[in-house]
Amino acid sequence: MGDENAGDGIQNAVGQGMKSRSSLAFMQPSTTTTVNVQPTPPAPRARILGDLVYTPTSFAKILGVTRHELIEKEAEGIIPPAKRNAHQERYYNPEDIVLYRQYLGLPSPVPSLRKQLFLNFKGGTGKSTVSASYGFRLAQMGVRTLLIDLDPQGHLTQCLGLNSAHYSKTLFNALIEKQDAETVIVKTDLPTLDIIPSNLNLSPVELSLFSMNSREFRLKRLLALFEKNYELIVMDASPSIGLLNLNAILASNDLIIPVLADFLSYHGLKILFETLSTIEEDFSFVFENIFIFLNRYNESHRICRRSKNALETHYAKYLLNTVIRQDTKIAEATSQGTPVFLYAPSSKGVEDIQCLIDEILGPKGAEHV
């Protein structure tokens, strides 16, 4: 009985307390609390360019005109005048490229959206190094470019000077966890260049894709959500046969294959084409274009000349005229984590990658359809 009375006392006390609070709430005037929701500040842009500015000569070269033409158009009032530094020297900012292309009526180097995949089942062919500088240069030329790192090792990310471990989100978060794609895209200080970085967080993607419906087309569907924001999407794949690379193949227009002038690279090329033949049978898929180019080529080496002849014999339909010559500046740029176009703009590596761009996207590229 004592316990029951105690229980009644507790209930009565609680009831009275609720009654008091209820009466107090009734007696107080109603107020509306306004919560000011502050907009989320934009994430800082990844630094690739730093404080880079262009001289008239370098700016004109990126635009594809001469320095004389640039100054002449400025004098005629067709384009805005260049900025001046404290010494009254002319300079231009990277964001000026798009604006000046419009003023000059220059067409985009990429007339329609291209989704391009750099892939070779043989590792060590310089695929990440070339794809990073290739995509960077096109963005530098004013093409709205997205680079996607498909390798958990994050080599493409690192070739741009970005710390891959710094990024908590990779393609995995959008592809598997179905997070908003915009949350995995990193904007850079080059306004026309975005990147989806990679690191070891991407590693479980193969296992996760295996149990999903339409697992081979997940990347294609994801890209469809935001590809309209770009003129060019460049993907760098790991040297392996797997579901993620299959997704990348089925999501791409063009396949770009760097090969070294050696036997192992040639053998990897053979396996790749056998795989593409199987994909064609299983998915009725054929690339619009396939481009093969020789990388780190040294004409003075007999093995290089023999390998080049073999490619010309067996893959003439796909082989580009452009070769990227062996150049220590490319290796140095990679070790410094910067595109060779920034590290050594006058190097033969820069000349060769520019030729690669011109051949793939120019009239000659259409011959490989």
Q: Please tell me the predicted confidence (pLDDT) of residue 19.
A: 45
Contact present, 169 and 183 (Cβ < 8 Å) = yes
Whether the predicted pLDDT of 17 surpasses 50 = no
Dig out the tokens for 177 from the structure.
Answer: 């966890």
Residues 271, 363, 112, 286, Cα dihedral to 10°: -30
Q: Are 156 and 126 in contact (CB under 8 A)?
A: no
Q: Would you state the pLDDT for residue 193?
A: 97
Whether 193 contacts 47, CB under 8 Å: no
Q: What is the pLDDT of residues 240-290, one digit of tens each?
A: 889 999 999 999 999 999 999 887 888 889 999 999 999 999 999 999 999
For residue 31, count other CB atoms closer than 10 A to its CB.
Answer: 6
| All domains of the chain in start order, with CATH | 56-104 (no CATH), 114-368 (3.40.50.300)
Identify whether the C-beta of residue 133 lies closer than 8 Å to the C-beta of residue 158: no
Cα dihedral sign, 123-124-128-133:
negative
22-71: per-residue pLDDT in tens?
444 444 545 555 556 555 556 678 999 988 999 999 999 999 999 999 99
Alpha-helical runs (H) found in the chain: 2-27, 56-63, 67-75, 96-104, 127-140, 155-159, 171-175, 205-210, 218-224, 243-250, 263-283, 302-314, 328-336, 340-343, 348-361
pLDDT at 58: 94
CB atoms within 10 A of CB 86: 5
